[in-house]
Chain A
């Protein structure tokens, strides 16, 4: 397939999936800030009367921070990550993808499972404990993940796709339902 055909196929796929943002590249703070400014204004236009824009934005920020602060930073090429945001009539879907070392997978899985098996009340209790605990690490991912689980109603899916002998692509998906009018 020529590159121009690939571009056309990508365009068709993005329209079909109603993709609001599809980004692959470096996730540094400045760039993600610029992306978020753009997304925030798009969401405000779409959801000015429901308030769901703020929830989607919040989950999006925590998802991006999860990538930019915990993504594998070994090789330049491997720090390239992906962000997708799509909207259907009933929900918003956010997907992030980033390289991780295979040795990191068990710890990431354990953290995710620890959040995913909780109900809303347990999540709120965990959130409270985390927020009042002493700050030990700027990159403490626990609170962000709990926040995502609370705001999305725990609609989280994850997967690890093998890339090389030592690395995998970590995909993290969250859905936020759009309330019925």
Chain B
């Protein structure tokens, strides 16, 4: 499956789902004009990625995929899509596919840190919290 790369803009985040490096990152600001138009292809890509996970399940290299959220800001509509992505990741983890979820927040940005804690608690998953 090809990696998914979307460049950041002034109102939408960068998406880099690097299948070779096993590192998926959503970073930057999230306030797209049409939130669904931005996030639906991202969500579709993640759902389709399950086939890759299934194909690689019994292979020797079954190291975890790191999924990083490194958002400066996200609006409330984006929050619903982020929640959807996290729920899909939870489904993958429950099925036994190895994922580590990292939640990055800037120094002093307690609201972003709290948002990550809230998401983790909401879906009952462990996140790695990283300050930058």
Please name all residues of chain A whose beta carbon is closer than 8 Å to the beta carbon of B79 when the two chains form the complex: 131, 143, 147
B108 (CB) vs chain A CBs: closest residue: A51
List the one stretch of B17-25, B28-36, B54-62, B92-100 in contact with chain A.
B28-36
Given contacts A61-B31, A131-B83, A132-B122, contact A51 B109 (CB under 8 A): yes
- B residues adjacent to A (C-beta < 8 A): 10-11, 31, 33-36, 72-73, 75-77, 79-81, 83-84, 106-112, 118, 122
How far is A124 from B111 in the complex, measured between Cα atoms in Å? 13
CB-based contact A29/B75 at 8 Å: no
- Minimal beta-carbon separation of A145 from chain B (angstroms): 9
> A-B pairs with CB below 8 Å: how many?
66
Report yes or no: B122 in contact with A131, Cβ–Cβ below 8 A.
yes
Binding site for B on A (CB under 8 A): 29, 33, 36-37, 49-51, 54-55, 57-58, 61-62, 65, 124, 127-128, 130-132, 135, 138, 140, 143-144, 146-147, 151
Q: Quick check: A55 and B111 within 8 Å, CB to CB?
A: yes
Residue of B nearest to A59 (CB): B111
Interface of A is mostly: helix
Considering the complex, give the chain A residue whose CB is closest to the CB of B37. Answer: A138
Residues on B with C-beta less than 8 A from A140 are 77, 80
